[in-house]
Amino acid sequence: MPETQDPHVNPNASASAAVKFVYDFTEGNRDLKDLLGGKGANLAEMTNLGLPVPPGFTITTEACKVYLESGAEPAALRAEVSEHLDALERQMGKKLGQADDPLLVSVRSGAKFSMPGMMDTVLNIGLSDASVSGLATQAGDERFAWDSYRRLIQMFGKTVLGVDGELFEEALEDAKRAKGVVVDVDLDAADLQGLVGHFKDIVAKETGRDFPQDPREQMDLAVRAVFDSWNTDRAKLYRRQERIPGDLGTAVNVCSMVFGNLGPDSGTGVAFTRDPASGHQGVYGDYLQNAQGEDVVAGIRNTVPLADLEQIDKASYDQLMQIMETLETHYKDLCDIEFTIERGKLWMLQTRVGKRTAGAAFRIATQLVDQGLIDEAEALQRVTGGQLAQLMFPRFDLDAKSKTIGRGIAASPGAAVGKAVFDSYTAVKWSRSGEKVILIRRETNPDDLNGMIAAEGILTSRGGKTSHAAVVARGMGKTCVCGAEELEVDTKSRRMTTSDGTVVEEGDVVSIDGSTGKVYAGEVPVVPSPVVEYFEGNVDATAADADDLVKSVHRLMSYADSQRRLAVRTNADNAEDAARARRFGAQGIGLCRTEHMFLGERRELVERLILADTDADRDAALDQLRPLQKADFIELFEAMDGLPVTVRLLDPPLHEFLPDITDLSVRVALAEARHEKHENDLRLLQAVHKLHEQNPMLGLRGVRLGLVIPGLFAMQVRAIAEAAAERSKAGGDPRAEIMIPLVGTVQELEIVREESEKVIAEVAAAAGVQLDLALGTMIELPRAALTAGQIAESADFFSFGTNDLTQTVWGFSRDDVEASFFTAYLEKGIFGVSPFETIDKDGVGSLVRSAAAAGRATRPDLKLGVCGEHGGDPESVHFFHEVGLDYVSCSPFRIPVARLEAGRAAAESQGSDSR
């Protein structure tokens, strides 16, 4: 064994006596979540607030870590637990499992971050053959005692001893059937006593040992089982999904039992201090009479709405309402609560700041400001760009009556409608002929990529949030519902069958909701989100009758805008996108891709340019392209008048403008077979062969094109300059920035710059206007980042092309890897998230940081921006803020997200400065 001096990790070190592993509920508080877990910290907080919490103690996450690392509990733990157990027994006036009057406890998991349902809890620890009748006598209720005992054996058997839970369920069902009843409350004491016998037999048969009768042994085994539950597969998967670190460990709470199963004046429930779905204030929760904790959520009997508790037990209800108010005021946020009523006495068993929907998050944040509980800076931290993005998706019109035929995991939001297709080939074929399709598969794999791209949405019957379908769909921003298990997908006969027997054939219309996971038969009408209507300027958020969600969004956006330091620009290639982006708050264009202007009818001109044999031919082609480009730029400068527009010169490899090599070969071969001669096709084919590249991403593209195709960049620069001159003369305020892509060395940039400056000067002189056009470059190659200090000599600005920079830093091409091995990497935890989604701070990010610093060292006024998709990703925006860039640029729909997150980043760093 390796020697180590750290008392936290060496179970045998005598120094470990200095570490405290067990805290009484009275000793903790809510700031100790690292050590006591969320549940333990909040139990302590409630205890100290004077709320009725059953006494108990918490074993720390540190103890768990020692156990997980060494395989044994820290040596000091046993004695410390004994000490706290003694104290608890003295306080309660009875001993754990004492025969005539047993103290019973629950042993509950509770990590720093809530992992609902992922780990284990065992109730009624301390009951045994010896103490069950003592419990019955004390409670004056035979049935209750046997019910508690059977619950213990069931939970303990399953979670601690690893017995298949089904076996207990079946035995319980058998007992109910034998008695002719449907719910467990109709089993009497004798039935339950019989069931205990059965359960003990099951334990003995399945584990080869008897159910442990020693109360302390029960407790110790349960504690260990909770430690172990940190590392179950489902817990690991959940943590990866939620990006919770794997080494935190869980705390264990030992809490004296209170009983909701003592008859009709007892019960158990859950409550929220406001509606987690809408954020509205009111009474929200469920209550179940004569039941123990798990029964509420397990859905074995019908719960009643919490409001009904007022009729059932007014005193407890009133007390609960008061406690909820105390908690909200104390936590200054929505809280969720578990409680139990034992013979008319209310007990608090758990609270935490509750999860909520995106809409509720915005409403609650502003409500709390209005109540004076938090300020606006804090309110901004209570919402996220991800939530805002969710609110912007179009929604299904829920007033329309539509038939739900299934439900899966909401893997990628959106509302998609289309004809059902069951294979990618059909998806592509139908979508080419203008049909909207939903691709339905059991699971997707890399072969389905084309179909996924062609489809409006993707539906699978297998797989979870990290399945191939989910990961790829999220990457593409495509609606996806996965793991809809009740749907029987039969790809061979091209149909799917729902649980009620409805058959959906190929071509039938289905609708899927990626925000709720619901699947509908037929077409559900779609309505635009009110939040988008607001950003579009179609609704007035300050009007008295404005939707309260829109009001909340407006308030928080305004505050974010007042705080942020990063400007937000858009990626847009045409006037329409530019205008929308501007409505959404864009402060300019960060990336206009000129290649999109070369497609469609203009493709022919590009072909002519590529095929040109002589300077004259080439110039002729360029002369025809220039006015077209110029017209595009005039529109764009007009739409963004007064704001910067960064135009990137031609970037992609030329073969992208030529016909597909296979199609063309076939055409030429067929023509030859018919003894026809198509001179142009033959020349094209030659060109295609010549331009064919093994790795086009690393081939002849970007600035390299500009340097080898004479006149190409000059034509583009001239078009930009002429457009700017024309706008100026017309009284406009064009602010063009010319951006050279894929520069690896300053020499490339120098040549292009010199040529461009000449062209601009010519245009300015001819037009008689002054043209201040900025010339800068993208930083998207590692070499550019590494020599940024030199490159800045020739650049007025840098724009980090983080998509290509990610590809070139990692050495993989996005198109090839996302569909092939990313799922595996995500599952293995090599990536917490795709580096194309959130910037890889350690690798790509560190190049951005150093290049920004080197560039500014050369040229202090160097403007710095980002035009990769990361510009619209919340976490990445925070990083760019921190690195000190001037702006991010993203697609029009991400602009509000970037604005919000830039504001949050600024408010957050201000907060930490003043701390």
Active-site pick, 84, 198, 468, 870: 468
How far apart, in Å, are the Cα atoms of 883 and each of 6, 466, 877?
35, 31, 10
Best CA proximity match to 103, nearest among 111, 94, 115: 94
Strand partners, 268: 288, 340
Q: Which is nearer to Mg ion, 607 or 780 (CB)?
A: 780
Report the first-to-last Cα separation within the chain, whole angstroms: 43
Q: Which of 73, 328, 338, 651 binds ligand ADP (CB under 6 A)?
A: 338
Alpha-carbon distance of 368 to 381, in angstroms, equals 12
Task: Confirm whether residue 338 is marked as ligand binding.
Answer: no
* Sheet with 488-490, edge to edge strand ranges: 488-490, 495-497, 503-505
Min CB(134)–Mg ion separation in Å: 28
Question: 908: Cβ–Cβ under 8 A, 6 or more apart, which residues?
Answer: 381, 878
Q: Which of 164, 169, 170, 294 binds ligand ADP (CB under 6 A)?
A: 294
Among Mg ion, ligand ADP, none, residue 606 binds (CB under 5-8 Å by kind): none
Alpha-carbon distance of 514 to 479, in angstroms, equals 5
Would you call 596 a catalytic residue per the annotation? no
Q: Which is nearer to ligand ADP, 256 or 571 (CB)?
A: 256
Q: Which is nearer to Mg ion, 513 or 840 (CB)?
A: 840
If one asks whether residue 342 binds Mg ion (CB under 5 A), the answer comes out as no
Q: Which is nearer to Mg ion, 471 or 591 (CB)?
A: 591
If one asks whether residue 108 binds ligand ADP (CB under 6 A), the answer comes out as yes
- DSSP 3-state assignment of 58? strand
Q: Which of 47, 58, 61, 106 binds ligand ADP (CB under 6 A)?
A: 106
Among Mg ion, ligand ADP, none, residue 801 binds (CB under 5-8 Å by kind): Mg ion
If one asks whether residue 293 binds ligand ADP (CB under 6 A), the answer comes out as yes
CA dihedral of residues 497, 501, 505, 509 (deg, nearest 10): -100
> What's phi and psi for 523, nearest 5 deg?
-95, 120
Active-site pick, 64, 335, 867, 890: 867
Min CB(549)–ligand ADP separation in Å: 30
Task: Confirm whether residue 753 is marked as ligand binding.
Answer: no
Alpha-carbon distance of 47 to 699, in angstroms, equals 67
Angle at the Cα of 870 from the Cα atoms of 865 and 876, rounded to 5 degrees = 90
Task: Confirm whether residue 10 is marked as ligand binding.
Answer: no
Among Mg ion, ligand ADP, none, residue 804 binds (CB under 5-8 Å by kind): Mg ion
User: Alpha-carbon torsion 341, 342, 345, 346, what sign?
Assistant: negative
Alpha-carbon distance of 256 to 258, in angstroms, equals 7
- DSSP 3-state assignment of 682? helix
Alpha-carbon distance of 778 to 740, in angstroms, equals 6
Residue nearest to Mg ion according to CB distances in the complex = 804
Give residue for tokens 């995106």: 358
Q: Which is nearer to Mg ion, 423 or 804 (CB)?
A: 804
How far apart, in Å, are the Cα atoms of 586 and each of 561, 567, 654, 747?
12, 8, 31, 33
If one asks whether residue 313 binds Mg ion (CB under 5 A), the answer comes out as no
Among Mg ion, ligand ADP, none, residue 54 binds (CB under 5-8 Å by kind): ligand ADP
Min CB(114)–Mg ion separation in Å: 9
Query: How many Cβ atoms from other residues are within 10 Å of residue 672's Cβ?
Result: 13
Q: Which of 350, 646, 823, 834 binds Mg ion (CB under 5 A)?
A: 350
Question: 163: Cβ–Cβ under 8 A, 6 or more apart, which residues?
Answer: 157, 202, 203, 206, 207
**Sites for ligand ADP among residues 47-86 (CB under 6 A):** 54
Q: Which of 51, 172, 202, 257 binds ligand ADP (CB under 6 A)?
A: 257
If one asks whether residue 340 binds ligand ADP (CB under 6 A), the answer comes out as yes
**Which amino acid appears at position 170 of this protein?**
E
Q: Which is nearer to Mg ion, 275 or 804 (CB)?
A: 804
DSSP string, 779-846: E-SHHHHHTHHHHGGG-SEEEE-HHHHHHHHHT--HHHHTTTTHHHHHHTTS-SS-TTTS--IIIIIH
Task: Confirm whether residue 801 is marked as ligand binding.
Answer: yes
Task: Confirm whether residue 593 is marked as ligand binding.
Answer: yes
- DSSP 3-state assignment of 588? coil
> What's phi and psi for 887, nearest 5 deg?
-155, 160
Is 408 within 8 Å of 498 (Cβ atoms)? no
Q: Which is nearer to ligand ADP, 293 or 872 (CB)?
A: 293
Q: Which is nearer to ligand ADP, 255 or 496 (CB)?
A: 255
Min CB(350)–ligand ADP separation in Å: 5
If one asks whether residue 228 binds ligand ADP (CB under 6 A), the answer comes out as no
Calculate the CA 116 to chain-centre distance: 17
> What's phi and psi for 333, nearest 5 deg?
-165, 170
Q: Which is nearer to ligand ADP, 89 or 523 (CB)?
A: 89
The piece of 8-16, 251-259, 357-365, 432-440 that touches ligand ADP (CB under 6 A) is: 251-259
If one asks whether residue 258 binds ligand ADP (CB under 6 A), the answer comes out as yes
Number of residues that bind ligand ADP (CB under 6 A): 16
Among Mg ion, ligand ADP, none, residue 288 binds (CB under 5-8 Å by kind): none
- DSSP 3-state assignment of 640? coil
Q: Which of 35, 222, 255, 521 binds ligand ADP (CB under 6 A)?
A: 255
How far apart, in Å, are the Cα atoms of 715 and each of 623, 712, 736, 739?
8, 5, 15, 14
Alpha-carbon distance of 714 to 719, in angstroms, equals 8
Min CB(155)–ligand ADP separation in Å: 9
If one asks whether residue 260 binds Mg ion (CB under 5 A), the answer comes out as no
The H-or-E segment that residue 142 falls in is helix 142-155
Query: How many Cβ atoms from other residues are within 10 Å of residue 170's Cβ?
Result: 13
Residue nearest to ligand ADP according to CB distances in the complex = 293
Min CB(606)–Mg ion separation in Å: 19
Min CB(786)–ligand ADP separation in Å: 50
Which stretches of 314-402 are assigned E, i.e. beta strand?
A: 335-342, 345-353, 395-396
Min CB(343)–ligand ADP separation in Å: 13
Task: Confirm whether residue 855 is marked as ligand binding.
Answer: no
Min CB(804)–Mg ion separation in Å: 4
User: Alpha-carbon torsion 13, 14, 19, 20, what sign?
Assistant: positive
Give residue for tokens 């074929």: 429
Q: Which of 36, 64, 103, 123 binds ligand ADP (CB under 6 A)?
A: 123
Would you call 468 a catalytic residue per the annotation? yes
The piece of 521-529, 777-785, 787-795, 834-842 that touches Mg ion (CB under 5 A) is: 777-785
Q: Which is nearer to ligand ADP, 219 or 349 (CB)?
A: 349
If one asks whether residue 801 binds Mg ion (CB under 5 A), the answer comes out as yes
Min CB(113)–Mg ion separation in Å: 14
Q: Which of 147, 423, 804, 875 binds Mg ion (CB under 5 A)?
A: 804
Is 32 within 8 Å of 69 (Cβ atoms)? no
The piece of 254-262, 470-478, 510-518, 582-590 that touches ligand ADP (CB under 6 A) is: 254-262
The piece of 116-124, 233-241, 307-315, 441-449 that touches ligand ADP (CB under 6 A) is: 116-124
Task: Confirm whether residue 648 is marked as ligand binding.
Answer: yes
Which stretches of 94-235 are assigned E, i.e. beta strand?
A: 105-111, 121-125
The piece of 218-226, 723-731, 781-789, 796-804 that touches Mg ion (CB under 5 A) is: 796-804
Helices 846-858 and 874-883: crossing angle in degrees, nearest 10, is: 30
Q: Which is nearer to Mg ion, 220 or 780 (CB)?
A: 780
Is 468 within 8 Å of 492 (Cβ atoms)? no
* Active-site residue list: 468, 867
Binding residues for substrate: 593, 648, 780, 801-804
Binding residues for Mg(2+): 780, 804
Binding residues: 593, 648, 780, 801-804
Residue ranges that bind ligand ADP, judged by CB under 6 A: 54, 106, 108, 117, 121, 123, 255-258, 293-294, 338, 340, 349-350
Residue ranges that bind Mg ion, judged by CB under 5 A: 350, 780, 801, 804
